[in-house]
Chains A and B, each alone.
Chain A
Amino acid sequence: MSIKVSMKVNGKPVAAEVEERTLLVSFIRENLRLTGTHVGCDTAQCGACTVHMNGKAIKSCSIVAMQAEGADILTIEGVAKPDGTLHPMQAAFKENHGLQCGFCTPGMVMNALDFAKAHPNPTEDEVRESLEGNLCRCTGYHNIVKSIIAGAKAMGGKL
């Protein structure tokens, strides 16, 4: 059965007819064609699909689109400034070579943004713990950790 969902994505109101079982990540990728949010595992383990819902990082493969009815969603496409300038967390990933193939990167950045709001000056251990739900196969995490520490400092606790 199809159902209408509406929400705000990256500041813009959006609506579509979807099936009840349509996952939020499918709605974002297929209906909205915002393909920066990735699917790496289908089982809520890899974190590549991480987006913000009402200001909190969630895995968009683990809820259906209906559950996000009326919500405020932020995806990786909405993070940089409208003029294209990278957000300080994105810039920190670039400066610290915190990405290689780029596939896990949007999820990493979205998770890091949420984490950094509450941790403006995190320790390495805190950062590693915060990455429990985000898998990367390229970087060995070394430079992701460095990136998040630098990005969090640059953010100063504010998104």
Chain B
Amino acid sequence: MNAPLIGARVLRKEDYRFLTGAGQYTDDVSMPGQTYATFVRSPHAHAVIKKISIEKALKAPGVIRIFVGQDLADAKVGGLPCGWLITGTDGKPMKEPPFPCLAQGKVRHVGERVVVVIAETQDQAQDAAELVKVDYEALPAVVDPKKASTSKPIHDIAPDNVCYVWALGDKAKTDEAFKGAAHVTKLEFLNNRLIPNAIEPRAANAQYSRAADEYTLYVASQNPHVERLLMTAFVLGLPESKVRVVAPDVGGGFGSKIYLYAEDVVVTWAAKRLNRPVKWTAERSESFLSDAHGRDHVTVAELALDKDGKFLAMRVKTTANLGAYLSTFSSCIPTILYATLLAGQYTTPLIYCEVTAVFTNTAPVDAYRGAGRPEATYVVERLVETAAREMQIDRAEIRRRNFIREFPYQTPVALQYDTGNYEATLKAAQQLADISGFEKRKADSLKRNKLRGLGYACYIEACGIAPSNVAGSLGARAGLFEAGEVRVHPTGTVTVFTGSHAHGQGHETTFAQVVADRLGLAMEQVEIVHGDTAKVLFGMGTYGSRSIAVGGTAIVKALDKVVAKGKKIAAHLMEAAEADIEYDRGVFKVAGTDKQKTFGEVAFAAYVPHNYPLDKLEPGLNENAFYDPANFTFPAGSYVCEVEIDRDTGKTEIASFVAVDDFGKIINPMIVEGQVHGGLTQGIGQALTEGCQYDKTGQLLTGSFGDYCIPRASDVPSFQLDTRETACTHNPLGVKGCGEAGAIGAPAAVMNAITDALGVKDLAMPATAQTVWKNLQENRHARV
């Protein structure tokens, strides 16, 4: 008998290889005959390509081949597809302009790929790339989404640069509710554009075998099967069976490695042309220029309240910047994953949201940790906090008056929450944050010439993405189930193959805990395999905090099948009725007797079937399962942030940060805490330090870690965490997911605290020292 593993702080199986330098990331893979690719990228945000001269570069030492957009067009290499069709309020499909892997005739953002140079060494490829000459005729560029519709068209099919106008909710009833409101709170703000910056830059290394007519692509990806499906079916026109995609150790994703990128296609295609492996690894500057960015909304948001602070209606108008092209899932982020979350934790009966998605001459924008939900939470929680201040109602009290308290709860924006207890997380957060001591701490801060502020954020997110039929009806062009396989070996050890992919989440440990716990085995008897289309049967990958809720459930379903077959075998071995067999932590028992067979004995019988019901049952013990979730999961929580602002420098310090989350059942609290720490830090980064900036001509101003400041250790505090639990009602583990929560709740909590400290209604993110200092100067007379 083993102790329960679900809920235990099990140390990670994967750590040893990472701690000893034995991790295998894509750039670590080197193949015989390896060649290296460098991309020549557009220096212009918007320009016509007049001429490309590659002759000099071709003569440079070590150069093997150079390809331009026309080469891909001639070979009928397709453009990158978008995986989600949004239908506009006019009933028409969104505008889907071509997204060529190498520019054809025109470039539309700085950093767009124009030419690829392949050479014997990385240095030679880079040297030769310098010799490629591209003549451009520059066109006017637009970077501001508010100006997109009046600017020069970026794509022929979208003359006003509008991809779609989409809406959710009842406009007429919402407008009517506003007319009768006792109070209306209105805010206008930007949700700042972010650059994901996983510390491992993107990389792809492709090999082609003439003997087998097969490709192998190593790529830093969060979903190798999706990468393969998109690349083979939509871009290269190859049978999936001829392409193996391996996402080995991946150094962080945060959304940016979900997508099929042009570089992945080009190296794969080129590998056959050269008959040699072709590797490309992004420099950090390329990551800044060409990884899909996140957020970038311009929003006007209004909340209507009655005289007691009950929310009557919410009205939101957002312009979302999609960048120059439609990245893989870009279209669903500011719509399906945004407007549907605007109920938050509250009973707001009427919500209307209208989203105008536009093209600009900037890098494509897609999902980044949270993906739509941080933007929604920011709208809701900034509105709620501001309304409380304006109506002089305690900020926690106004939330309590509006909390959803009965479940299931149907929101006016399509989602049905299955379970939750928002009072429990708020109460716990208030206790942990010592709310009653705040006034004293504020007075102490002032003595040191510092302004102290406190802010709440009570977030909700929709995770466990997603019921495929629901997603399909909303425009998804893919299923969103997950697959798993449990392969029991003859000696009773188990290898589990999952379509989820870990790039920091620790699935090799968490999933092994689930398997070992359910089967009653030791952790050492379970191996988790992921990230290789040649090993794993299928997978939709990891994003949207879906791995444990969807991938974990697929594994549980396969385990159930293993146990069910095991019972049949055990019944035969013990000459008992199958209905009398019970499985309990590693042992098959005949109920009410002392007869039993261990899991290992049953597995052995399945593979050495000498005494086995061969007439009724196949040998072997190996089961697959595909799990399509019945609903989204709804993690929620309450965050309390306290900041201290230096009045002389404007520097904001996070004095304390309390996060109380409800993730449903927790498999490994240690790993969950780590996920929250990381999410909170990215959220604090959005609030305080991170802001992608283009100049008016579309040049990226924040193109290095010196200009774009992801949080350093001294920018964040040690966090105070706790959890409350309401089990998810529709998956067998009762799990909800935890990967994005911190990034979703933190920005609103931090900005609520900063505006509290400054005594201002709003302040733009990121609230850098300069921004805060300017605000302090502007308001110094008003404040005194």
Contact = CB atoms under 8 A, between A and B. Distances in A.
B285 A42 contact: yes
A45 B283 CA distance: 13
A100 B714 contact: no
A132 B199 CA distance: 15
A79 B18 contact: no
B681 A140 contact: yes
Contacts of A80: 19-20
Interface string A124-141: 100111011011111111
Contacts of B682: 137, 140
Contacts of A48: 199
A135 B199 contact: yes
A43 B704 contact: yes
Given A137-B197, A140-B716, A140-B719, A76 B710 contact: no
Contacts of B712: 131-132, 135, 141
B664 interface: no
Interface residues of B, number: 58
B713 interface: yes
Contacts of A139: 674, 677-678, 681
Contact of B18 (A99, A136, A144): A99
Nearest to A35: B28
A86 B197 contact: no
Given A101-B252, A103-B252, A141-B716, A37 B197 contact: no
A132 B713 contact: yes
Interface stretch (B7-15, B311-319, B388-396): B7-15
B685 to A, nearest CB: 9
Q: Which of B23, B123, B281, B716 has the most CB atoms of chain A within a 10 A radius of its CB?
A: B23
A60 interface: no
Contacts of A45: 704-706
Interface in A96-135: 97, 99-106, 109, 124, 127-129, 131-132, 134-135
Interface in B2-42: 11-12, 14-25, 27-28, 30
B201 interface: yes
Interface residues of A, number: 58
Contacts of B530: none
Given A36-B20, A43-B706, A93-B15, A103 B25 contact: yes
Interface stretch (B225-233, B344-352, B503-511, B725-733): B503-511
Interface string A49-89: 00000000000000000000000000111011000101000
A101 B30 contact: no
A159 to B, nearest CB: 16
Nearest to B718: A142
Contacts of B678: 100, 137-140
A40 interface: yes
Contacts of B681: 139-141
A144 B713 contact: yes
B250 A101 contact: yes
A105 B716 CA distance: 19
A40 B199 contact: yes
A127 B716 CA distance: 13
B121 to A, nearest CB: 9
A94 interface: yes
B744 to A, nearest CB: 14
Nearest to A107: B199
Given A95-B11, A129-B714, A140-B719, A109 B19 contact: yes
Contacts of B197: 137
A94 B11 contact: yes
Contacts of A15: none
B141 interface: no
Given A36-B22, A40-B200, A138-B252, A127 B123 contact: no
Nearest to A142: B677
Contacts of B182: none
B118 to A, nearest CB: 17
A143 interface: yes
Nearest to A89: B19
B129 to A, nearest CB: 15
Contacts of B250: 101
A39 B249 CA distance: 15
A145 interface: yes
B309 interface: no
B246 to A, nearest CB: 16
A40 B20 CA distance: 18
B294 to A, nearest CB: 13
B18 A105 contact: yes
Contact of B249 (A22, A102, A135): A102
Q: Which of B199, B678, B681, B714 has the most CB atoms of chain A within a 10 A radius of its CB?
A: B199
B636 interface: no
B194 to A, nearest CB: 12
A41 B680 CA distance: 23
B200 A103 contact: yes
B199 A77 contact: no
25 contacts: A36-B20, A40-B199, A40-B284, A41-B705, A42-B285, A45-B705, A76-B20, A90-B19, A94-B12, A94-B16, A101-B250, A102-B18, A105-B19, A106-B18, A106-B21, A124-B718, A127-B713, A129-B713, A132-B714, A137-B254, A138-B674, A140-B711, A140-B719, A140-B742, A145-B713
Interface of A: 19, 21-22, 29-30, 33-43, 45-46, 48, 75-77, 79-80, 84, 86, 90, 93-95, 97, 99-106, 109, 124, 127-129, 131-132, 134-145
Interface of B: 11-12, 14-25, 27-28, 30, 123, 197-201, 249-252, 254, 281, 283-285, 503-506, 670-671, 673-674, 677-682, 704-706, 710-714, 716, 718-719, 742
Given A80-B19, A86-B20, 10 more contacts: A36-B22, A79-B20, A84-B20, A86-B19, A93-B19, A97-B674, A102-B15, A128-B713, A140-B719, A145-B718
